[in-house]
Amino acid sequence: MSPFAWRLEKKLPDLVIIHKNDPLAAALADQTVAKLKGEYRIFREISDFDGVRQKAPADFQPVLVISIGGDGTLLYSSRAWGLGGTPILGVNLGSVGFLAEVDPVWFNEILEKALNGQAEIETRQALDIEVARDDERLATFTVYNDAVINKGALSRIMNLKLSIAGSTFWNFRADGLILATPTGSTAYNLSAGGPVVYHSLEVVIVTPICPFTLSSRALILPLDLELYVSIDKNATDTHLTGDGQVYLPLQPGDLIKVGRSNSSLRLINNPHRQYFDALRVKLGFFNDERR
């Protein structure tokens, strides 16, 4: 059934607006609430409100999430509301906007299409991260961009072991490791020298951070392989972050499993923007004819 089949129901459909705590985002949220008031039951939330998510009513089931801010706000929106497959319309008020790809000038047009079930929805792959300690599951979470194993400011270079399909593939020394989705390939992965990967491919990108040897390079692996990363027993002051928003301290000997998630990120497409044009402009890939 179409996610927009709520138009056949008698009750007011639910809609979520999440925005950054800045004047421009708040003003656009105000305008949207005023425009849709009376047609929708709207729940409004600030993405960085002291790091605490406000509580929606128990019976609140949104048919659309509007994220106003940047990629960080959209990732927050995805974690808060997108795991159930709710489509997300990302309005970009930031500087990059690989995920939040709708500029304010196109917002009303694309919002109208989304609310009438006419917008294109693109599905993005997610990764499930599971951390085990002493043979017991410690934590699990989902990432849309990346999971990063990193060391503290004063800790030494760490030893990491990557196991693929049940066998040790790679022992290496580095400042850390990035485990990225294709969507996240243009984020921290790119800054660390990893490859840009087309967002519809079903792969995981493994990129070492400042490796000790020049032979340690990024890997692109299919999602169907069992992938594990183990932390050296002498490692100190290390941690794991998910999408820059989930934080977990690690201990020596911890085992991190990476795999395909049953959840996915469903984004409303911007028909005015093509992926490769956005890549060229945002990353500065200009050819001679466009200079």
Give the separation between CA 46 and CA 24, rounded to whole angstroms: 13
Mapped onto helix, strand or coil, the DSSP state of residue 46 is strand
Which one is catalytic: 14, 50, 71, 224?
71
Rounded-to-integer distance, Cα 200 and Cα 197, Å: 9
Of 142, 123, 129, 278, nearest in space to 202 by CA: 123
To the query of whether residue 71 is one of the catalytic residues in this protein, the response is: yes
* DSSP sequence for 104-164: HHHHHHHHHHHHTT-S-EEEEEEEEEEEEETTEEEEEEEESSEEEEEE-TTPPPEEEEEEE
Contacts of 111 (CB under 8 A, 6+ apart): 32, 66, 89
Which residues are catalytic, by number? 71
